[in-house]
């Protein structure tokens, strides 16, 4: 590591200590050119990979977005918040474990589907049916909103005719009271 004072190329580690919580290592260094001392910290890098959409757009991984996707898919389903949290942890841990700087949005979606499949079949189908055609968790969130609103909206578009109820009226079904 270069000296921050004189930019000398060679420094010597004179002391190494682990932090109390064990999360970082502190090194005391001495510059061999100017003899000044400075400290460096070494920590584990646990950065989430960037999410790359199908169209090549990149965005920061957004845990809130992920949570929203789970919530929407599990809307009114009998799944505890605890289990949802655990599922979100699984996904983020898997992403960490990849150790990649980038991950495809499709891959994130597949991870979400795996978790939903374990949690609730209905939520899984909700997510899968919408997600498959979007391949992006963010778009999915909006799409589910659409799906939830759509039955009422479709009926309205058709002029409010409740499809199915019309053809049921059959005169033959009236009680026949002809007795001879």
Please choose, from the candidates 106, 112, 108, the residue with its C-alpha nearest in 3D space to the C-alpha of residue 124: 112
Of residues 13 and 34, the one with the C-beta less far from Zn ion: 34
Of residues 1 and 57, the one with the C-beta less far from Zn ion: 1
Please choose, from the candidates 146, 135, 142, 121, the residue with its C-alpha nearest in 3D space to the C-alpha of residue 69: 142
- Shortest separation between residue 3's beta carbon and Zn ion, angstroms: 3
Residue from 1, 2, 5, 85 binding Zn ion (CB under 5 A): 5
Chain positions 110 to 169 lying near Zn ion, rule: CB under 5 A, are none
Kindly state the number of chain residues that form the binding site for Zn ion, as judged by CB under 5 A: 7
- Shortest separation between residue 102's beta carbon and Zn ion, angstroms: 37
Q: Does 8 bind Zn ion (CB under 5 A)?
A: yes
Of residues 3 and 123, the one with the C-beta less far from Zn ion: 3
Grouping H, G, I as helix, E, B as strand and the rest as coil, residue 45 is coil
Of residues 8 and 104, the one with the C-beta less far from Zn ion: 8
Query: What's the Cα-to-Cα distance from 162 to each of 52, 82, 157, 165, 171, rounded to whole Å?
Result: 43, 40, 11, 6, 20
Chain positions 83 to 102 lying near Zn ion, rule: CB under 5 A, are none
Sign of CA dihedral 153, 73, 130, 68: positive
On whether the CB atoms of residues 146 and 153 are closer than 8 A, the answer is: no
Chain positions 30 to 69 lying near Zn ion, rule: CB under 5 A, are 31, 33-34
- Shortest separation between residue 13's beta carbon and Zn ion, angstroms: 14
Please choose, from the candidates 38, 33, 34, the residue with its C-alpha nearest in 3D space to the C-alpha of residue 13: 38
Angle, helix 121-131 to helix 137-157, in steps of 10 degrees: 90
Binding site for Zn ion (CB under 5 A): 3, 5-6, 8, 31, 33-34
């Amino acid at each position: 590591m270069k000296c921050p004072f004189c930019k000398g190329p060679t420094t010597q580690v004179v002391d190494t200590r682990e932090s109390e919580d064990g999360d970082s290592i502190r090194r005391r260094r001495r510059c061999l050119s100017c003899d000044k001392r400075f400290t460096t910290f070494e920590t584990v890098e646990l950065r989430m990979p960037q999410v790359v959409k199908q169209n090549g757009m990149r965005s920061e991984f957004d845990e809130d977005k992920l949570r929203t996707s789970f919530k929407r898919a599990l809307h009114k389903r009998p799944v505890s918040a605890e289990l949802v949290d655990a599922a979100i942890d699984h996904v983020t841990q898997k992403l960490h474990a990849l150790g990649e700087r980038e991950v495809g949005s499709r891959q994130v979606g597949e991870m979400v589907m795996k978790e939903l499949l374990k949690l609730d079949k209905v939520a899984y189908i909700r997510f899968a049916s919408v997600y498959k055609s979007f391949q992006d968790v963010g778009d999915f969130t909006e799409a589910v909103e659409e799906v939830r609103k759509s039955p009422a909206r479709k009926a309205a578009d058709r002029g409010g005719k409740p499809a199915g109820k019309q053809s049921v009226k059959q005169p033959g079904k009236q009680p026949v009271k002809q007795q001879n």
